[in-house]
Each structure stands twice: as structure tokens, then as C-alpha cells.
Amino acid sequence: MSCPHCQQAAGYHADRPRTVVSLVGTLRYQRCYYYCRRCGQGLAPFDHQAGITPRHLTPALERLATLAGGVGDSFARGADLLQEMGGVRLSEATVQRTTEDVGGRIAALLDQGLVFGPPQAWDWHRDARGRTVAYVTADATGTRQQGPGGTSAEGRMAYVAGVYNPAPPDWLRPGQPADPLRARYLAGLYELKELGPLLRRQAGHVGMDAADVWVALTDGGSGLEGFCQQNFNRADLVVILDFYHPASYLEQLARALHPQDEGAAAAQAEQWCRLLKEEGGATTLAVLRAWDWPARKSAALRAQLEAVDSYFGNNLHRMEYPEYEAEGWCIGSGVVESACKTVVGQRLKGAGMRWGAAGAHALCHVRALYRSEPGQWDAFWTRKLTKSKVYQLN
Ligand SMILES: [Zn+2]
């Protein structure tokens, strides 16, 4: 063997035993062991060729342990899941390190400009005028971080971004069932400027260029609209404020108006949300400004009124919901929010959870890949990687 560290000859030393854990239990085998005198390091090339992990797991068990670590509510629950479903007992720490190693590998591959699976041409759904429409989204979510020595540290923002092809609204496909959502997600403790090329690459890989209309759905979070404008800079890019977010402002306002009466709050919220959907942001804001508010407002109501006023005021240009709906475009109220919740929130924001930055970043990658359309997860594990040019904008 030539030594991978110094390229000098490393002589055969002996056949040595190795014990690994596989899906069918513990396996023992003998393999050739080489030794480099110059580096003082031993090597067993078979282990590498067979894909044995640094924690001595077989590739199939690594894949299953990562799945359990990624989808379980915690790594301890992941270890339980693995035992329940695979009959293999690994420690919580092994499930955690394995999952995080894999997440780190996914991140490194993306960073090298690789995309999983062959290029695709998604069959973009059509809007009311028969134009094909592609959607992108980005959102931020907080994660609690662990500082040195287990102390709590400043929370870091994880970004979740995606390109997706949602089924058109019911009235555009009468009697037809909705196709399942196709989506590709990215998530991690990235800066927005780092996420841009990664998302463009995914978008290029699924043929976003071929869509007639591009819609960018985000909430009012800092920098998100600009992120979409910069990275998907068609002159006619449609930017929409995800309906879920202004609606949740209205729900909070209704609760502040009727703090003691849940029923009245729900009815008021529904009325305002209908107004927002049917008349748009500007009319809703005008109606709220002219509302017959109680003469003596609680501090909570005053605060929420101010919040609504500034949130709506800043986003009116992308709250023209009746027009978007007439075009047959999706106004959100689901995909962004559920992406954030399911990709990152559900797993990283569990009660009492704190994360090191590297661990959170790694786990975000495992979950984003697993939540992406069928085939993505498998393409990573079966090493179907495609070198993709950074997306050419047009
Ligand atoms: Zn050497």
C-alpha cells in the first residue's frame, strides 16, 4: 500500500480483526492491516472501501441511525426508534455523532457545488392564464445555542429556503386531486448571502428557468425579500408576503381586543383575515385605522395595534392577495411556515434543547434533505451526485 499521508510504501503487517455493528448485529472479520513506519500510522484499506464509519458502523446502519437521529424527537428517542425498528442498540451519543457526521458531509457536498441526483425538469403547474409558475421561499427560525461549558449562549438564526411546485388552488383543477407538493429544502446556520448560490443551484437543477412566472414567498423577516430579489432577479419577479404571517398578526390583534373571550377573538380574527384575503393589505389597514377601538385601550392592545400598523405599512406592496388569487397563485399560509416548522423547528426547538453551532448546522442539513422530494435522500446515500453550474440568472 502507499501511505495516504506520506505516499511512501506502507508494508503489510498482519491480518487483524475488526468488529463492526451492522443491521443484522455485530460482525467480526479479519482484514489486511498495513503499517507506515515513517508516519507511525496503521491503515486498513478494506474498512474504507466497505464504507465503515469512524464509529464502526456499516453503511446501511449509518443510514438508518442518521434517519432515526434526524426524525426522532431527540437523539435518545432516535436510539430507541432504531432499536424498535431495526433491533439494533446504539448509544444516544453514537446516534448523535453519526447523524452530525452525515449532516456535515451533506453540507460539504453542497459547498462543493454538488446536487443530489440527476438534473430534472419539474412539470410546473399552471396559473389562471395558463402560465407555468415556480415558487421560492426563505424563512428564518431561532435555535437556542449552547455556549462553552454548557452555558446558554445567544441564539443563532437558522435559515430554511426552498424551491417548490405546489398544486394550484382547487378552482383551477376542478374535480382533480391536488398533486403532492414537490419541494427541495436547504437549511443551516448560514448567512443569507451564503444561502443564495445554494438555493439557485437547487432551482436550476429542477428547471426553474423554464417556468413563465417566478413567485417568491417570504414573511416580513429582515432581509428575506431582498434575498429573493437579488437571487431571482427577473424584472417581473412576484414577491408575496406569505399570508400566514399577516393573518397571525390579525389573530393576535383580535386576542388583544378580546382577551377574556376566545370565541369573540376567533370570530373577529376570521372576519379580518377574510377582509385581508378578499380586499388586500391596504384596505385592511385602512379599515383597522378607522376601527371603533375602545376609548381605553389595554397596553397589550396598543402594542399590537402598533405592531400591525408597522408590519402592514412596510409590506403593502406584497399584500395584494385578491390579485394573486385571481391569477391562481398560491399565497402561502402553509408551505413556508410548515417548511420552517417541519425542517427545523420541530426537531431543533424541542423543550429544553440547546445546540452547538456545528451540531445544529449538521442536523439542519439532514432534515432538509430528508424533507425534500422523494429521491433526494436516496441519491445522497447512493452517491448519485451531480456537479451543477451555479444557476445562470435570466
Ligand atoms: Zn506515511
**For the chain (length 394 residues), average pLDDT per consecutive 10?**
90 95 95 94 93 95 97 94 94 96 97 93 96 93 68 74 91 87 93 93 94 93 92 94 93 96 97 97 97 94 96 96 96 65 76 80 95 95 83 50
Distance 6 CA to ligand 1 centre (A): 4
Instruction: Give the model's pLDDT for residue 181.
Output: 86
Consecutive H or E run containing 361: helix 357-371
33 Cα–ligand 1 center, Å: 14
Alpha carbon separation from 225 to 136, 143, 242 (Å, rounded): 11, 22, 11
pLDDT at residue 335, rounded to an integer: 57
Report CA(59)–ligand 1 centroid distance (Å): 27
Residue 51 Cα to ligand 1 middle (Å):
22
- Give distance in angstroms: CA of 43 to centre of ligand 1: 10
1 CA from centroid of ligand 1 (Å): 10
Q: What's the CA-to-centroid distance between 12 and ligand 1, angstroms?
A: 13
List residues bridging with 145 in a β-sheet: 153, 355
Whole-number pLDDT of residue 23? 93
CA of 8 to the centre of ligand 1 (A): 6
Give whole-number Cα distances, 382 to 36, 59, 63, 117, 290, in Å: 32, 10, 10, 9, 61
Segment (H or E) for 281: helix 281-289
257 Cβ neighbours under 8 A, 6+ residues apart:
265, 268, 293, 294, 301
Q: How far is the CA of 42 from the centre of ligand 1 (A)?
A: 9
| d(C-alpha 313, C-alpha 295), whole Å | 23
Cα(37) to centroid(ligand 1), Å: 7
Q: Is 352 exposed, middle or buried (0-12, 13-18, 19+ CB in 10 A)?
A: exposed
Task: State the distance from the centre of ligand 1 to the C-alpha of 9, rounded, in angstroms.
Answer: 8
Distance 40 CA to ligand 1 centre (A): 7
pLDDT for the residue 220: 83
Query: Separation of 47 CA from ligand 1 center, angstroms?
Result: 18
The rounded Å distance from CA 13 to ligand 1 centre is 14
Residue 44 CA to ligand 1 centre (angstroms): 13
* Interatomic CA distance for residues 279 and 61, integer angstroms: 54
